[in-house]
Amino acid sequence: MKRSLIPFSGLYLLFLAACSSPQEPVSIIPQPVEIEYGKGNFKASSEIPIYFQAGNEEIFGIANYLAAFFGPSKINTPLLELNGKKLPGKGIFLLLDPDIENYEGYVLEVSGKRIIIKGGGSQGVFYGIQTLRQMLPGELESPELAENISAITIPRLKVTDYPAFEYRGMHLDVARHFFPVSFIKKYIDLMAMHKMNNFHWHLTEDQGWRIEIKKYPRLTEVGAWRKETLIGHGRQRPFEYDGQPYGGYYTQDEVREVVAYAAARFINVIPEIEMPGHATAALAGYPELGCTGGPYEVITRWGIFEDVFCAGNEQVFTFLEDVLSEVVELFPSALIHIGGDECPKTSWKACPKCQARIREEGLADEYELQSYFIHRIEEFLLTKNRNIIGWDEILEGGLAPQATVMSWRGIEGGIAAARMGQNAIMTPVTHCYFDFYQAEPETQPLAIGGLTTLEKVYSYDPVPEELTEEEARLILGAQGNVWTEYMKTSGHVEYMAYPRAIALAEVVWSPKETRNFEDFSKRLQNHFKRLDVLDVNYFKEPLTE
């Protein structure tokens, strides 16, 4: 991961723009590492050939992706193979450059004749296209509006860019409320535009199991459906319910479709299968996996529940290994999220099987029993050449040797993991939970609580000051979390995620030294026009602190 910065002053950037170009500086989010402006523009009408390196399937796919933006317009973009080093005439050129050290880094050069995007890897070329995309007319994002576009003008410039962090993530909980594949793809598209590269798909919970597992059909026949859903906030008493059955799940073919769609946009999909807690939906289908044997029902309200997988029952590990065997066939991700959070120990304390396991394994208590549980799952996934990632509770009782910690209750989990020499991803509830209110609660739809403004998200630094330089390298990046207890529709998810997800995208991509909230806010106002064309239901009045 390259974190060295090319020294560059925002004032110098503005000076160059004023002296060298009659046009306003381009507005790019996330802010690139460096932009140099030249004189004049690249202008094209009717046809812009897109040249790509011959024999590279990924670059060919990226070329098709770029051409699709122009498809509905009056500008023709033939795809042409580039053989040899000599560049032909006018056009857009997509190239790999071994001199660019970071495989996600790129250089974008716009001259009077050519637009050249050179990437350290295919990902770099793709991110260069996302930067170019934001310099193109926003109307190209709409098939209807694009029909009127017959020419483009882009200022001459050179962009040198690479990410500050290797992990740039967004999470989505589809277990509390279920969202169709079409929306999952839109969510991924928005991530890609902002150069995010990991989609954390939270698929199982007490309130619903959302992924088809062939060997255990009752997970979706029973576990994917709850009889009704809580009305109002989970802290309000007495509880009231809507009386409407609710559910849904993704077939394995749909999962493959999403994973392939994300991969074409260089986004890794990390599945989360919750264990040992948040397991009631699974227990409803297979009650023998709980400490009491049930019966269990899929939960209809929000919270933490005492019925968890029985850590003393060998059948539980057989079940989870079978489930994970199907999961790893669907998801190529090197990391598999196993949850590990909010697991009450009440049922384990009362369970003869769990107490016997504690004695047999020489464990001190139920916390070490959870660590035993996590270790066993890690050992199994290692046989599949995968590593586990879990919420920071997996530190309790001893961290599994190769686990990555997702620090959510604060930054302490990330600090502890890094000091133990293990990777961490920062997603503290203080800055990265987008289910919190983003303005005064009385002005907003019902949310879980808290207040996380756009400026607060933008102020976040994923690397804790307490860490040494060596330990800081183990902080892979940060992630925004979208828990959906109070988000029933895709439009509501968009409203809660955006523009806060855009602020986080700049936090994990752009150099810390060049970030400026006032400048970001100005660029964001321009960026909103593109979100309008894309029909994103973003929060339109960000509150600054």
What are the residue ranges spanned by the domains of the chain?
Answer: 10-161, 167-533
Model confidence at 185: pLDDT above 60: yes
pLDDT at 401: 86
Note the pLDDT tens digit of each residue in 223-268. Answer: 999 999 999 999 999 999 999 999 999 999 999 999 999 999 999 9
pLDDT at 400: 84
Contact 155, 28 (CB under 8 A): no
Alpha carbon distance 355, 150 (integer Å)? 73
**Angle, helices 500-509/490-497, rounded to nearest 10 degrees:** 50
Q: What is the mean pLDDT of residues 323-345?
A: 98
Q: Name the pLDDT band for 55 (thresholds 50, 70, 90).
A: confident
CATH of domain 10-161: 3.30.379.10
Instruction: Tell me the three state secondary structure of residue 403.
Output: coil
Note the pLDDT tens digit of each residue in 4-37. Answer: 333 333 333 333 333 334 456 899 999 999 999 9
Alpha carbon distance 85, 116 (integer Å)? 13
Q: Which residues contact 250 (CB under 8 A, 6 or more apart)?
A: 181, 203, 210, 211, 212, 258
Residue 204's DSSP bridge partners are: 209
Q: What is the DSSP letter of 542?
A: P
Q: What's the token pair of residue 324?
A: 């994970």
Residue 96's DSSP bridge partners are: 119
Q: Which residues contact 32 (CB under 8 A, 6 or more apart)?
A: 131, 159, 160, 161, 510
Stated length of the chain: 545
Alpha carbon distance 473, 469 (integer Å)? 7
Q: Name the pLDDT band for 86 (thresholds 50, 70, 90).
A: confident
Q: What's the token pair of residue 528?
A: 């909103």
Note the pLDDT tens digit of each residue in 156-169. Answer: 999 999 999 999 99
Model confidence at 60: pLDDT above 70: yes
E-strand ranges in 162-231 read: 167-173, 198-202, 204-205, 208-209, 225-226, 230-231
Alpha carbon distance 253, 259 (integer Å)? 10
Model confidence at 543: pLDDT above 60: no
Alpha carbon distance 442, 184 (integer Å)? 30
Q: What is the mean pLDDT of residues 183-207?
A: 98
Q: What's the token pair of residue 429?
A: 């509830």
Question: What CATH architecture does domain 167-533 belong to?
Answer: Alpha-Beta Barrel (3.20)
The 3-class secondary structure across 475-521, one letter per residue, is: EEEEEEECCCCCCCCHHHHHHHHCCHHHHHHHHHHCCHHHCCHHHHH
Model confidence at 294: pLDDT above 70: yes
Model confidence at 100: pLDDT above 60: yes
pLDDT at 1: 37
Model confidence at 412: pLDDT above 70: yes
Model confidence at 117: pLDDT above 70: yes
Pseudo-torsion of CA 432, 435, 438, 439, nearest 10°? -150
Alpha carbon distance 439, 542 (integer Å)? 7
Task: Give the rounded percent of residues in the chain with a pLDDT score beyond 90.
Answer: 90
Q: What is the mean pLDDT of residues 282-297?
A: 98
Q: What is the mean pLDDT of residues 538-542?
A: 81
Number of neighbours of residue 357 by Cβ within 10 angstroms: 20
pLDDT at 140: 94
Model confidence at 2: pLDDT above 90: no
Q: Do the domains at 10-161 and 167-533 have one common CATH topology?
A: no
What is the residue-averaged pLDDT of the chain?
Answer: 93
Residue 402's DSSP bridge partners are: none
Instruction: Tell me the three state secondary structure of residue 70.
Output: helix
**Alpha-helical regions (H) of 9-52:** 10-20
Q: What is the mean pLDDT of residues 214-224?
A: 98
Model confidence at 493: pLDDT above 70: yes
Q: What is the mean pLDDT of residues 112-120?
A: 96
**Alpha-helical regions (H) of 351-419:** 352-360, 366-383, 412-419
Note the pLDDT tens digit of each residue in 440-484. Answer: 999 999 999 999 999 999 999 999 999 999 999 999 999 999 999
Largest CA distance in the chain: 78
**Alpha-helical regions (H) of 177-272:** 181-193, 218-221, 252-263
Residue 114's DSSP bridge partners are: 91
With b meaning 16 or more CB within 10 Å and e meaning fewer, what string describes 176-206?
bbbbeeebbebbbbbbbbbbbbbbbbbbbbb
pLDDT at 196: 98
pLDDT at 23: 53
Contact 310, 275 (CB under 8 A): no
Contact 208, 273 (CB under 8 A): no
Alpha carbon distance 2, 523 (integer Å)? 25
Model confidence at 84: pLDDT above 80: no
